[in-house]
Structure 1
Amino acid sequence: MTVPDLARTIAAQVAQVPGVVAVSLGGSHARGNARPDLDLGLAYDAASPFDLTALGALCRDLDDSGTASATPPGGWGPWVDGGAWLTVGGQRVDFIYRELGRVEQSVKGALAGRVSLHAQPGHPHGIHGHHYAAELATGVLLHDPEGKLERLKVRLGGYPAPLAQALEGHYGWQPGFWLDGAVGGLKRGDVHDAQGRMYQAVMALVQTLCARERAWILNEKGAVALAGALPGAPHNFAARVNLALAALDVEAVRNLAAEVGWGRPGVHGDSPNVG
């Protein structure tokens, strides 16, 4: 992929902030389906965190309005961590913090095939424990003078087979279960409940398809389109999902689930309550 010049320029400036260990380009640019925004990951060590005052000053200098500010670590929640929203030369630029120790734990979890899902504001599906590993695998390192992220990336070595197997075992059986609950919600006239269960059924299908094809999911944005473009996806998967959710058509999602195929509950957690 071609790294935008603006990303390299800003990364070089951010790298001068004391405590910033590495800078990476993530998001859509790293995956080759670029949207207008640039996502820059700022890696730091919790034992010697970056200089927040210096980073805040840089944000104001870079931002077109001169008003951008940087949150402290943890300011955006336990998994997104923190960062800053800027506009630079009319270009949207997001800084997102990543603590090195947690990135390492995420890599270890991915290699061991551990599946954990965590609530995070702004993410209706939640964030998995292997999320940082996914970012590392799909991102581009712009500044990593000590090779700390590069060593973790090499250690990850792509998409670990144990993680793929664990994700399919965790999600592969769920669509039918969620959809049975959605039917019950519609019978009660509880549209909100039915919508939520249908969403979960679709995300279980997405997780299953992506695990089978070893495709990393970074977040919910574009996840249905990502899954639909994979070789094993049902024909017109994304379009059919959109139509089914808009119409609250449980049977249409059930047909998709049948085409994907699912197994029985495994050993990766309790079944959700279908009500």
Structure 2
Amino acid sequence: MSDARLHELAARLVAVPGIVGVLLGGSRARGTHTPDSDTDLGLYYRPPLDVEALTALARDVGGPAASVTAPGGWGPWVDGGGWLTVDGAAVDWIYRDLDRVTRAVDDARQGRYSFHVQAGHPLGVPDFAYAGEVALGVLLADPSGELALLHERAGTYPPALRDALIAGLWEADFLVGVARKAVSRGDASYIAGCLFRVTGVCAHALHAAAGRWLINEKGAVAAAAALPGAPERFRQRVDAAFACVDGDPVHLAEALDQAADLVLDTADACAMMAR
């Protein structure tokens, strides 16, 4: 889909009552897309969103079978939207409540964050992901100028959020400790869950130390490993720890030993990167 076609579509979207602006996100916004990549469009709205009018537009551009959800239809933090095929290309419409996004940007700038339960996101959705989406996205339609202001405010990674996420490494250390209690029982599933959380906390801390937004847990380990100053062989060491999770208490203890070393090295790396 051409840039001109995207802007044309965005202009039609902001004519739908409730939609304030449209932002291009995902790999297309970052310039890392391939011909097979979906095109992600963030539809920033204020309630009430006219779902009936949006459905009519979806069917006009995506065919009679196209549909969209009501707000919240995909869960509390992914929100809702529609998976469409437009001009033969996969185009995802993803709702974002503009006032909620604004609060998330404000919280990130103050160093406040939480991870929220959301289907399809085993680590949870960090509320600062909304700020990262605005910072990394490309404005397609913004009649009121509100998205441009948010984009500018989120453009510089907040030092307070950096410090908070690095300080949050205490959780990774704590999880390694509690997971050790499950070794003698051979509780591989519990230990695997702890290791996943440990890995995610480390990945977020490393991105924060580097001043980079991390908005998706998919590919987070590879992205963290590619950061300048990341612990040596970060990705390979994560993989090695998970490879030990097979139910054998000896191997489980080895996995946690590797994880403990990785948390220590991550803390050292963050301290150096954040100087």
- TM-score of the aligned structures, taking structure 2 as reference length: 0.86
Trace 1:38-53 onto structure 2 (pairs within 5 A): 38-46=39-47, 49-53=48-52
Preserved CA contact (<8 Å) 1:173 1:262: no
Cα pair distance change 1:8/1:242, threshold 3 Å? farther
Q: Which one has a larger percent helix, Structure 1 or Structure 2?
A: 2
Which of residues 183, 196, 200 in structure 2 aligns to 1:199? Answer: 196
User: Equivalent residue for 1:271?
Assistant: none
Task: Output the CA distance in 2 between the equivalents of 1:122 and 1:58.
Answer: 27
Preserved CA contact (<8 Å) 1:41 1:97: yes
User: Equivalent residue for 2:250?
Assistant: none
Any idea what SS the aligned residue of 2:7 has?
helix
User: Equivalent residue for 2:102?
Assistant: 104
Note the alpha carbon deviations across 1:156-198, whole angstroms, 9 max, x for none: 341111111111112x222232122333223212111111001
For structure 2, list consecutive stretches of 5 or more residues without a partner in the other structure: 246-254, 270-275
Preserved CA contact (<8 Å) 1:23 1:143: yes
Task: Output the CA distance in 2 between the equivalents of 1:252 and 1:245.
Answer: 10
Task: Output the CA distance in 1 between the equivalents of 2:4 and 2:192.
Answer: 42
Note the alpha carbon deviations across 1:46-84, whole angstroms, 9 max, x for none: 2xx3321111122223226x3221111111111111111
Task: Output the CA distance in 2 between the equivalents of 1:212 and 1:222.
Answer: 18
Give the CA deviation at 1:209: 0.5
User: Equivalent residue for 2:257?
Assistant: 251
Report how many residues are paired: 258
Task: Output the CA distance in 2 between the equivalents of 1:225 and 1:45.
Answer: 36
Task: Output the CA distance in 2 between the equivalents of 1:156 and 1:218.
Answer: 13
Give the CA deviation at 1:6: 4.7
Which of residues 226, 231, 246 in structure 2 aligns to 1:229? Answer: 226
2:216 is matched by which residue type in structure 1? Answer: N
Find runs of 4+ consecutive structure 1 residues off by over 6 angstroms: none
Give the CA deviation at 1:138: 0.8
Cα pair distance change 1:67/1:157, threshold 3 Å? same
Give the CA deviation at 1:3: 7.5
User: Equivalent residue for 1:32?
Assistant: 31
User: Equivalent residue for 2:93?
Assistant: 95
Note the alpha carbon deviations across 1:15-65, whole angstroms, 9 max, x for none: 33232210001122223332501110001112xx3321111122223226x
Task: Output the CA distance in 2 between the equivalents of 1:3 and 1:240.
Answer: 41
Trace 1:109-258 onto structure 2 (pairs within 5 A): 109-170=107-168, 172-248=169-245, 249-258=255-264
Q: Say what the alpha-carbon RMSD is for the aligned residues.
A: 2.2
Any idea what SS the aligned residue of 2:77 has?
coil
Which stretch of structure 1 is more off in the superposition, 173-182 or 37-46? 173-182
Give the CA deviation at 1:213: 0.5
Determine what percentage of the aligned residue pairs are the same residue. 45
Preserved CA contact (<8 Å) 2:135 2:152: no
Give the CA deviation at 1:210: 0.8
- TM-score of the aligned structures, taking structure 1 as reference length: 0.86
